[in-house]
Structure 1
Amino acid sequence: MPEFDIIVLGGGTGNVVASAADDEDLDVAIVERDGLGGTCLNRGCNPSKKLIHRADVARTVRNADALGVEAEIEDVRFADIVDDVTEKITAEAESKAEIARESENITFYQTEGRFVGERTIEVDLDAGTDELTAQKVVLAGGSRPMIPDAIDGTGEVEFLTSADALGLRERPDRLVVVGGGYIAVEMSHFFGAMGAEVAIVGRGDVLVGREDREVAEFLTGAYADRYEVHTGYEVTELAEENAEKLVRAESESGEEIEVRGDEILLATGRKPNADTWNVEAGGIETDEKGFVETDECLRTSAEGVWAIGDIAGNYMFKHSGDKEAEYAVRNAIHGEEASVEYPGMAHAVFGSPQVGSLGETEGDLDGDDYDVGTFEYDRTALGSALTDEGFAKVLTAPDAEILGFHVVGPHASMLVHEVATAVSAGADADDVAETIHVHPALSEVVQGAFREARGFPPTGL
């Protein structure tokens, strides 16, 4: 039975821990069934954003006429686009694996693994199985697409998950997207911009329903202008008929719809991989949703085992997982008892329009005393030159504490970082409002929202 100083389960955020352990000359094992880099690199954030960038370019060309620029798209080399992204992602994952294999301190098990006892992991090898053990284990086992049991026909009708969609080499003529969250929104944008007809069937009354209500309504309206959008429908069945795939859904009032396409993408959320790692055998407790339970130091219920990233369910973002990995290094490797903190934790939705958000929404603050400031893109010099509209919205406490910030529109994923930095640095709303902003940059949209929330005088007629 091979013994290590530390075992890292999962090669996504977990490789941050493994690399730090390597730097400390610890004997470390990494167990990862797929490529190093985890979901984000291989079948999530990285490939999807590389593909979405192409979608942004295509949409810009299609809208160029509104700015007096005559342009058209002669062809979209869909397979070439997908192949190019896949090749780059594969090369990066292989590079990480090569670095791991060259290290004298790291043993990389690119295979399935599972707990079979306390800090004991069974791994599949060509010649059978082996068991690994260590005094410390960091579980960074990730998540996977969730397939709802309530949908009939998933065992008979072929469908795509987000992972499948990112590697699809033949563009569907008509894609039916089931779901209304960020994955559904981002994938609808990509395939729609590539020339596919897109229909979306979501259970909520708006898309991205976890965002601030005004932001969600704005995005839903923008998508309804371009795609066939059905909100407020629970999908009940997948079926096939006359070489077409069908999605059947029903509203709360009993109204039934049937949406047809040549491909179906199920984008109905993600579930933690705790079950595939058989965490119960390792004495690791999970909550009712299957996430591994952790304390403020990311310790699990099992002695000497920490959990980070999607499997722990704290935020389920790559950037939050990386922050947790830093704390796992401090606690598991350096013996500290540091409580994880997420200062200025923001997130983005890379649809069209983009969304950037941090902190609380107005729905979260229902009944609390707060002030709101909103500012539209077209009230700024650069924003008014764009073809796409949008707005920024800030929620502040009476004492100027920043409670929440939300922006929907061009470059929202970048604009939100000004506020994330401010919150992390301990700045308040007045600090952001009074900061000199470059004119005429889009960041004036952010400043405008803060000035309005705090009652600062207008800067001109």
Structure 2
Amino acid sequence: MNEYDLIVLGGGTGNIVASAAADEGLDVALVERDRLGGTCLNRGCNPSKKLIHRASVVETVQQANSLGIDAAVNDIAFADIVDDVISSVTDEADRKAEDAREHEHITFYQTEGRFVDERTVAVATDDGDAELTAENVVLAGGSRPLVPDSIDGTDEVSFLTSDQALRLDERPDRLVVVGGGYIAVEMAHFFGAMGTEVAIVGRGDVLVAREDRDVAEHLTDVYAENYELRLGYSVTALAADGDETVVEAESEDGETVELRGDEVLLATGRQPSSDRWNVAAAEIDTDEKGFVETDDYLRTSVDGVWAIGDIAGNYMFKHSGDKEAEYVVENVVHGCRAEVAYPGMAHAVFGSPQVASLGETEEELDDGADYAVGTYAYDDTALGSALHNDGGFAKVIVGSDGAVLGCHIVGPHASILIHEVSTAVAADADAKTIAETIHVHPALSEVVQGAFREVRDVAPSGI
């Protein structure tokens, strides 16, 4: 039995905890079956956004003529683009692994790991199986693409998940995307800009249905102009037909539709990897979807076992997981008892247009809630009107006491603009404060200020 001060399971967000603990002199076992950096670095946020940036550059060039600039996209070196992105994230993951192996207080097990008891984990090594134990275990085991059991043929027909879609060395001519969430929206933007014909089939009546309804409807309308959308359909089966894959889908009233593509991407959500870590052997409680249940301090049902990141399911964002890692470092390494909080938590969808959101949507508010809504269009600002913004806007929801209940933005640089509101909320600022804050003119942030000015009615803007 190999004893450590701390075992960290998962080398994504968990790597933050492992390195912080090791720097404090604790002997740490870090277990990761794949490359360090986890999903975000290797198969998620980092490569996808690097690829999407290339797509956005293509889109900008294609729109240049509308600004009186003669420009055209003559060729796209798809394989080179993907290779450049994947090489960069692989190099970073390798650097992390080298740093872990060289740290005197970290033992890096790049292998499968599974609970065999409450705080005991079995790993495979070159010398055979070994068991690791520690007084504290941090489970940062992540999530993986969900492949629904309801779709027939997934065990017989090849398909892509987001893991493979980011690493293709050949651009598909036609891609069928199954799902209507953020992965579907982002991947449609990337492949569409690269020159792929894209079709999206999803169960909801809008894309990104978890966003505020006004925002979701707007994005859906824009995507309908650029891609084939089949919304309100549940995919029932995949089948092979020569070099094509046939996607069969059915609506609630029994109407069927068939789509064909040389590649199919299942973007149907993600599931926690608690089963792969065999949390049942440690008697760690999970919910009906397999997410590990935690308390306000990120403790699980088992004494000495903590959980953070996707596997805990509090939020499934890298930035929330990193915040949870900070709390676990305080609670486990420094012996504090700090309750986890997510002040100003926001998220973004990097499609075209971008979407960013904070707080509640209007649909999530309780019936009878006392609130006001303010909206402001990009076209109503000097800089926003100069951008190709597809009619984008900011929408804010403000309580009767001035509290910011929600902020939702759809349009260029939404992922940046939301941080003004995120910072304000984290600092307990109210809507009037944001509305009256002097903004640089004609910066794009006036879109956000305009929405708050409308709802708070605080400053004259002329005729």
> Quick check: 1:412 aligned with 2:424?
no
Shift of residue 334, structure 1, vs aligned partner = 1.2
Whether the 8 Å contact between 1:78 and 1:169 is mirrored in structure 2 is yes
Quick one: distance in 1 between partners of 2:201 and 2:116? Answer: 41
Residue 315 of structure 2: SS of its match in structure 1?
coil
Residue 207 of structure 1: SS of its match in structure 2?
coil
Pairwise CA RMSD of aligned residues? Answer: 0.7
Write the letter of the residue equivalent to 1:410: P
> Quick check: 1:313 aligned with 2:284?
no
Quick one: distance in 2 between partners of 1:385 and 1:340? Answer: 42
Quick one: distance in 2 between partners of 1:241 and 1:21? Answer: 54
The aligned residue for residue 299 of structure 1 is 299
What is the CA deviation profile of residues 316-374 of structure 1, one whole-angstrom value per residue up to 9, with x for unaligned ones?
00000000000100111111111100000000000000001000000011421100000
TM-score (norm 1): 0.99
Quick one: distance in 2 between partners of 1:433 and 1:19? Answer: 42
The aligned residue for residue 384 of structure 2 is 383
Whether the 8 Å contact between 1:139 and 1:308 is mirrored in structure 2 is yes
The aligned residue for residue 428 of structure 1 is 430
Quick one: distance in 2 between partners of 1:283 and 1:326? Answer: 25
The aligned residue for residue 87 of structure 1 is 87
What is the CA deviation profile of residues 402-447 of structure 1, one whole-angstrom value per residue up to 9, with x for unaligned ones?
0000000000000000000000001000000000001001100000
Q: Hey, which bits of structure 1, 4+ residues long, moved more than 3 A? A: none
Shift of residue 11, structure 1, vs aligned partner = 0.4
What is the CA deviation profile of residues 289-334 of structure 1, one whole-angstrom value per residue up to 9, with x for unaligned ones?
1000000000001110000000000010000000000010011111
Give the aligned length: 461
The aligned residue for residue 216 of structure 2 is 216
Whether the 8 Å contact between 2:40 and 2:318 is mirrored in structure 1 is yes
Quick one: distance in 2 between partners of 1:105 and 1:406? Answer: 44
The equivalences for 1:14-53 within 5 A come to 14-53=14-53
What is the CA deviation profile of residues 226-276 of structure 1, one whole-angstrom value per residue up to 9, with x for unaligned ones?
000111110000011232111110111111000111000000000000000
> Quick check: 1:96 aligned with 2:69?
no
Write the letter of the residue equivalent to 1:381: A
Whether the 8 Å contact between 2:308 and 2:325 is mirrored in structure 1 is yes
The equivalences for 1:217-256 within 5 A come to 217-256=217-256
What is the CA deviation profile of residues 102-156 of structure 1, one whole-angstrom value per residue up to 9, with x for unaligned ones?
1110000000000001200000123321100000000000000000000000011
Residue 215 of structure 1: SS of its match in structure 2?
helix
Shift of residue 384, structure 1, vs aligned partner = 0.7
Pick aligned residue for 2:396 from 394, 397, 414: 394
The aligned residue for residue 453 of structure 2 is 451
Quick one: distance in 1 between partners of 2:62 and 2:366? Answer: 41
Quick one: distance in 2 between partners of 1:460 and 1:242? Answer: 64
Whether the 8 Å contact between 1:67 and 1:387 is mirrored in structure 2 is no
Quick one: distance in 2 between partners of 1:82 and 1:126? Answer: 33
Q: Compare 127-136 and 368-377 and name the one that shifted more.
A: 127-136
Whether the 8 Å contact between 1:375 and 1:445 is mirrored in structure 2 is yes
Write the letter of the residue equivalent to 1:73: V
The aligned residue for residue 374 of structure 2 is 373
Write the letter of the residue equivalent to 2:168: L
The aligned residue for residue 142 of structure 1 is 142
The equivalences for 1:105-184 within 5 A come to 105-184=105-184
Quick one: distance in 2 between partners of 1:303 and 1:211? Answer: 37
Quick one: distance in 2 between partners of 1:126 and 1:102? Answer: 19
The equivalences for 1:261-300 within 5 A come to 261-300=261-300
Write the letter of the residue equivalent to 2:338: A
Quick one: distance in 1 between partners of 2:354 and 2:360? Answer: 18
Residue 332 of structure 1: SS of its match in structure 2?
helix
The aligned residue for residue 76 of structure 2 is 76
Residue 311 of structure 2: SS of its match in structure 1?
helix
> Quick check: 1:195 aligned with 2:195?
yes
Whether the 8 Å contact between 1:392 and 1:445 is mirrored in structure 2 is yes
Whether the 8 Å contact between 2:436 and 2:459 is mirrored in structure 1 is no
Shift of residue 453, structure 1, vs aligned partner = 0.9
Runs (5+) with no aligned partner, structure 2: none
The aligned residue for residue 11 of structure 1 is 11
Whether the 8 Å contact between 1:13 and 1:321 is mirrored in structure 2 is yes
Write the letter of the residue equivalent to 2:351: G
Whether the 8 Å contact between 2:186 and 2:349 is mirrored in structure 1 is yes
Quick one: distance in 2 between partners of 1:401 and 1:79? Answer: 49
Quick one: distance in 1 between partners of 2:387 and 2:318? Answer: 30
Write the letter of the residue equivalent to 2:152: D
The aligned residue for residue 258 of structure 1 is 258
The sequence identity of aligned pairs, in percent, is 71
TM-score (norm 2): 0.99
Quick one: distance in 2 between partners of 1:278 and 1:384? Answer: 54
Shift of residue 457, structure 1, vs aligned partner = 4.1
